[in-house]
Chains A and B, each alone.
Chain A
């Protein structure tokens, strides 16, 4: 398994797209951290990048990589290796490379120039989102035989989680504003990893004006620390389920 991960990581780290993604992240975080005098403001701008750009790049890059690696996967499947191990190795290799890119591009500058607890939380959220969205990408690509359709699904998934979902939640809140909505709102927050990430960092910054409804409910429901912990546990679940579903599908898949 380690050997397969090694081949995947070596293959991806030579990839030009991943290198330029790292450089772009590095430039943006350096600019924000060096040129903004207000530390919180810089962190909030970085938060938005982490919440929008990171999921997009993770899911699209992972999807494309999976389809390009289909030859490699086919070659491995007729070797004496467990299918679950093959898929898991490809996934770990992918997630690891994306984490390295994120670590170099955002993690290192954040720790050097800021180094606060909020920065640490922001890095943790970014790492979680990277891992989650590449797991979602693997799930989508295992389920779709066609590359174009797979990439379409990946883009849709990103669009849904980063834009549509908030709209949907607002719509529901307005429609049912006569009813007590605290509990449903907590559930709604838990159903979107991007929302969870935002809640974690904003709970720490305590800028309730930016938290949005789900975040505010989280704060009142669990308290600051409890809310953060709950959100992290939920993020862990978000890593687990797409991957376990993908593994189950892949075990029965005809290549």
Chain B
């Protein structure tokens, strides 16, 4: 469904993405894992057209996305650091997004689950980090997109909200959507993901099924399996 072909991106001296080749299928839930600064967010942003790659191509359903914008209607994005017009209230932001986007059905499960209507008149500037994350999550799922890109989705969320979001992610995977998650908290990903792509220094170290990874390392938990892989790498 989404294919990255030979993607390069350089920021000044830093080679943020170095010949990335990846393919993600629909109906899968994929974890993008890697140390800080390994290029996860840059990769995601280049998929969304916020970062323009120096070389290479990104294809969505077989057609190149570079220079086009319509494909973004099929992607829901929850950024790591969300930025919103600070003077607008939650309700105004939601209304504005609905106004700008064309849509047939709205998915307001999360809006209800996070009890956002009760906070509707709060201005974005006054919100806590966690509440902002909730708004981001609601907006990502709102237009019922085929692909969900979640950058550190549970960072800053309380355990209750984090649970709600995880349930939602599982449910949407079952509905046949492609879900890309980056996270540092590997224990949270255990039940969520089918595949793992490991990035380091802008390169893809590996991209495997979780089951395959478990078989190779003999570990059930993702944290331990990843630790094993890194040990091998070190040797």
Contact = CB atoms under 8 A, between A and B. Distances in A.
Given A71-B84, A80-B71, A255 B99 contact: no
B48 A78 contact: yes
The residue among A4, A7, A80 with the most chain B CB atoms within 10 A of its own CB is A80
B186 interface: no
Interface string A48-88: 00000000000000000000011110111111111100000
Contacts of A11: 85, 87
B85 A4 contact: no
Interface in A199-249: none
A126 B52 CA distance: 38
Contacts of A75: 83-85
Interface string A1-21: 001100100010000000000
Nearest to B71: A80
Interface string B54-70: 00000000000000011
Given A3-B100, A79-B72, A79-B101, A71 B50 contact: no
Contact of B49 (A69, A70, A77): A77
B73 interface: yes
A80 B101 contact: yes
A254 interface: yes
B77 interface: yes
Nearest to A81: B69
Nearest to B92: A7
Secondary structure class of chain A's binding surface, majority of residues: helix
Contacts of B72: 78-81
A164 to B, nearest CB: 32
Contacts of A79: 72, 97, 100-101
Given A79-B101, A252-B52, A71 B69 contact: no
A254 B101 contact: no
A81 B102 CA distance: 11
Interface of A: 3-4, 7, 11, 69-72, 74-83, 252-255
Given A7-B96, A78-B50, 15 more contacts: A11-B85, A11-B87, A69-B85, A70-B83, A71-B84, A74-B83, A75-B83, A75-B84, A79-B100, A79-B101, A80-B71, A254-B50, A254-B51, A255-B45, A255-B51
Instruction: Enumerate the 8 nearest inter-chain pairs by beta-carbon distance, A residue then B residue, closest first.
Output: A71-B83, A80-B73, A80-B72, A78-B48, A72-B85, A254-B51, A255-B50, A78-B77
Interface of B: 11, 45, 48-52, 69-73, 75, 77, 79, 83-87, 96-97, 99-101
28 contacts: A3-B99, A4-B100, A7-B96, A11-B87, A69-B85, A71-B84, A72-B84, A74-B50, A75-B84, A77-B48, A77-B49, A77-B50, A78-B48, A78-B49, A78-B75, A78-B77, A78-B79, A79-B72, A80-B69, A80-B72, A80-B73, A81-B69, A81-B100, A254-B11, A254-B51, A255-B45, A255-B50, A255-B51
